[in-house]
């Protein structure tokens, strides 16, 4: 459920990524890619997607279920989750779709989700950290974290740690952390909670998506010997609730948003790790994401915040 930055700052974002990466070209390219998408049957493979009762997460879950995979759906609202499970099962005739309810804005909620998944599953082949929020008004969680940071950054960091054993047990395991082309090229490590740089939600969101990419790069290095492929992506400019709330930009229909599904399933990514994909193309990362020292400093901050050490 990603969106793009305000038109006045969009060119700055694009300049650190790809010169040709305009909304218009992105939409047409994505539609072209989607028109040729074919399901590869994936019976026996287990996929977990956070934030999958709506938007891109739900669409990805539906595609995976069509392909015969076992799909672990996550959401916050039980009734919405049950409705989505029923819809997917009815549409795909795949009964290997399971629901997990938890609030990822709290550390306890993240731990609960991991515990519930471990009780249910013996392995995970692909973990897709898709859940994300954009909030115009700054707020803090019960843990004292800025909410965007809590859901978009702390949650994938802690959840991945807690589910590492299941990924190790997976077959050709993959880990995907959803980023965005909405990133910042300037990180104040003393203000990761956006006390001063919130900017009606845009500053906090851009920061969170930059750290998500940095996190994926660090995890790629750390997990390489274990054979876990770690990549990040911008899922596309898609007509989601988040896009509508955060930006006045057109997007492709949700049912055409196949970038996450392709990165999670295509065999050509079996041995690809440490990459950032935009429109299914490995893309140059920004200078701030290349800063290894800064990445490691942020990593240490995340370990302190979540109470875990990789």
DSSP character string of 10-32: HHHHHHTS-TT--HHHHHHHHHH
Report how far residue 140's alpha carbon sits from residue 247's, in angstroms, rounded to the nearest whole number.
Answer: 23
Active-site choice (198, 205, 269, 276):
205
Of the candidates 294, 193, 159, 274, the residue with the CA atom closest to the CA atom of residue 228: 274
φ/ψ of residue 57, rounded to 5:
-60, -45
The residues facing 234 across adjacent strands are: 278
Task: Give the separation between CA 8 and CA 29, rounded to whole angstroms.
Answer: 23
Residue 205 is a catalytic residue: yes
As a whole number of angstroms, the distance between CA 303 and CA 206 comes to 21
Active site residues per annotation: 205
């Amino acid at each position: 459920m990603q969106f793009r930055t305000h038109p006045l700052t969009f060119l700055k974002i694009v300049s650190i990524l790809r010169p040709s990466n305009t909304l218009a070209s992105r939409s047409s390219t994505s539609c072209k890619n989607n028109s040729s998408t074919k399901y590869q049957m994936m019976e026996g493979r287990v996929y977990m997607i956070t934030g999958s009762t709506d938007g891109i997460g739900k669409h990805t879950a539906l595609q995976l279920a069509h392909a015969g995979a076992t799909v672990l759906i996550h959401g916050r609202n039980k009734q919405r989750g049950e409705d989505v499970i029923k819809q997917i099962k009815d549409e795909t005739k795949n009964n290997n779709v399971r629901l997990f309810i938890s609030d990822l804005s709290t550390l306890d909620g993240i731990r609960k989700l991991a515990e519930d998944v471990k009780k249910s599953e013996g392995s995970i082949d692909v973990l897709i950290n898709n859940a994300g929020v954009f909030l115009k008004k700054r707020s803090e969680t019960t843990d004292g974290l800025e909410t965007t940071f809590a859901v978009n950054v702390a949650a994938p960091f802690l959840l991945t740690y807690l589910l590492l054993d299941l990924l190790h047990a997976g077959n050709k395991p993959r880990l995907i952390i959803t980023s965005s082309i909405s990133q910042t090229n300037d990180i104040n490590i003393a203000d990761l909670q956006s006390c001063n740089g919130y900017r009606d939600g845009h500053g906090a969101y851009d920061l969170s998506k930059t750290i998500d990419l940095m996190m994926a790069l660090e995890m790629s290095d750390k997990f390489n010997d274990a054979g876990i492929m770690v990549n990040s992506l911008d899922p596309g400019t898609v007509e989601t609730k988040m896009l509508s709330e955060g930006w006045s930009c057109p997007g492709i229909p949700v049912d055409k948003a196949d970038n996450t599904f392709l990165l999670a399933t295509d065999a050509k990514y079996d041995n690809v790790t440490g990459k950032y994909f935009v429109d299914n193309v490995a893309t140059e990362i920004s200078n701030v994401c290349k800063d290894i020292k800064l990445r490691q400093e942020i990593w240490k901050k995340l370990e302190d915040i979540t109470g875990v050490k990789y």
